[in-house]
Amino acid sequence: MNNLAVQTPKEPVLADLNALYETMSAQEILRHAIEEQFVDRITIVSSFGAESVILLHMIAEIAPTVPVIMLNTGKLFGETLRYRDRLQERLGLMDVRAVSPDPRELATEDAKGGLWQRDTDACCDLRKVRPQARAVAPFDALITGRKRFQTGTRAQMQIIEKDTDGRYKINPLANWDLDQLKAYIEEHNLPRHPLVKDGYLSIGCMPCTNRVEEGGDYRSGRWADSDKDECGIHLNIDGDGI
């Protein structure tokens, strides 16, 4: 009889991991998370937006088989969908998964497609929050492209966090600024999202994304003329958008 017990992954200590990751580069954080801490239990959620190519490039160089989840809300720019296809081919990403809203929920809650005009929070919940929750359910950790400079609520976020559902969120670019992002793209000669040159600095769904006027805040083109700056897929233990 085999008396060897099945080994289960050891629960990481959040404070220890944050202390470790604060000393690492983004690439080192990713390599540790993918190859040591969350082996075969980690994914990345990517918008294929203005700076998504940076993390996708890093991951492709470490492990191109890491699942890449894209929330295809049904309201994305056509340029974003074509950019996704281009990056998948260019970087050699082997497991890109497009996740859509439940058609039954769409028929019940947004049959005419205009929910975003009446209630942006409800629209984001229907088209982003719930589909992502279903998609990441099999994973223990997910990688995000959030940075501390993007919004006031993100300024204090840690490099690795534990969400209310018990899942870990890893933010390898938390300490990066715009100059570092641009420098990485230029250094590696990576293709930019085609809308960047037209003044779109943060790119989400088409109805809720505007150009940023010169000198404007980085994310001022998202949900313009409202105080909303998060779609709801990133929540901390207090329920606040981060």
* pLDDT computed for residue 111 by the predictor: 95
Task: Please state whether the predicted TM-score (pTM) of the whole model is above 0.95.
Answer: no
Quote the number of domains for the chain: 1
* pLDDT computed for residue 238 by the predictor: 32
Domain contains 80? yes
Question: Both tokens of residue 141?
Answer: 């950790």
When mean pLDDT is compared over 93-97, 121-125, 207-211, 221-225, the highest value belongs to 93-97
Q: Assign 234 a pLDDT band (cuts: 50, 70, 90).
A: very low
172-202 confidence digits (pLDDT tens): 999 998 899 999 999 999 999 999 888 887 7
CATH number at residue 163: 3.40.50.620
> Which of the pair, 78 or 237, is modelled with greater confidence?
78
Q: With pLDDT > 90 as the criterion, what percentage of the chain qualifies?
A: 62
Domain contains 53? yes
Sign (positive/negative) of CA torsion 164, 168, 170, 174? positive
Domain contains 43? yes
Domain contains 49? yes
Domain contains 223? no
13-40 confidence digits (pLDDT tens): 899 999 999 999 999 999 999 999 999 9
Q: Which residue has the tokens 């260019």?
A: 90
* pLDDT computed for residue 178 by the predictor: 87
User: At residue 88, does pLDDT exceed 90?
Assistant: yes
Q: What is the DSSP letter of 16?
A: H
Q: Assign 242 a pLDDT band (cuts: 50, 70, 90).
A: very low
Domain contains 169? yes
- Cβ burial of 138 (10 Å; 0-12, 13-18, 19+) is exposed
Question: 92-116 burial by CB neighbour count: b if 16+ within 10 A, else e?
Answer: ebeebeebebeeeebeebbeeeebb
List of residues 6+ apart from 28 with CB closer than 8 A? none
Q: Please check whether residue 160 is in contact with residue 171, taking contact to mean a CB–CB distance below 8 angstroms.
A: yes
Kindly give the interhelix angle for 178-187 and 52-62, rounded to the nearest 10 degrees. Answer: 50
Range of the domain at 163: 14-208
Catalytic residue check, 231 = yes
* pLDDT computed for residue 226 by the predictor: 56
* pLDDT computed for residue 80 by the predictor: 95
User: At residue 8, does pLDDT exceed 80?
Assistant: no
Question: Both tokens of residue 12?
Answer: 């990481």
Rounded Cα–Cα distance for residues 221 and 224 (Å): 5
Extract the runs of DSSP E, i.e. beta strands, from the chain.
Answer: 42-45, 68-71, 96-99, 141-143, 160-162, 168-170
Domain contains 8? no
Catalytic hit among 124, 205, 208, 231: 231
User: At residue 67, does pLDDT exceed 90?
Assistant: yes
* pLDDT computed for residue 227 by the predictor: 53
Domain contains 240? no
* pLDDT computed for residue 208 by the predictor: 86
